[in-house]
Amino acid sequence: MRNDERFEIERAFDLLPHVVGASWTAIWFRMQGIRKPTVEEFREKTLEYLKMIEPVFESFPENEEFEAINKYIDSRKKQEYEKIISGENKEIEKRYDRYVDYG
């Protein structure tokens, strides 16, 4: 698969974890009145919200024409999930720090 064929998916996975996952997570903790969640709690909740949009990740047909992009999506999804849990996603970590500092 050429780089230009996966460009949009790459951009989506660059943004979705923090735009969807961390944003909904911050709201959830705020509404629960939890001002200082642990970083692990924040990461787990972020992953929980991100996983709610998995049907989008699985929306392309399961046929030969989409086989390469579907494999890439699955690989990138697993990679992003691991980065969130391990603390390697810098945007999630930044949003955690901002939440516990400013609530």
Count structural domains, the chain.
1
Q: What is the CA radius of gyration of the chain?
A: 15
Q: Kindly state the helix (H) or strand (E) to which residue 24 belongs, with its residue range.
A: helix 23-32
SS3 for 26-86 is HHHHHHHCCCCCCHHHHHHHHHHHHHCCHHHHCCCCCCHHHHHHHHHHHHHHHHHHHHHHH
Per-residue pLDDT tens digits for 26-76: 999 999 999 999 999 999 999 999 999 999 999 999 999 999 999 999 999
35: Cα separation from own chain's centroid: 22
Residue with tokens 């992953």: 47
The mean pLDDT of 74-101, rounded to a whole number, is 98
Residues recorded for the chain: 103
Per-residue pLDDT tens digits for 6-16: 999 999 999 99
pLDDT at 103 over 90: no
The mean pLDDT of 86-102, rounded to a whole number, is 97
Domain span at residue 72? 3-102
Could you tell me if 16 and 53 are in contact, meaning their C-beta atoms sit under 8 angstroms apart? yes
pLDDT at 3 over 80: no
pLDDT at 79 over 80: yes
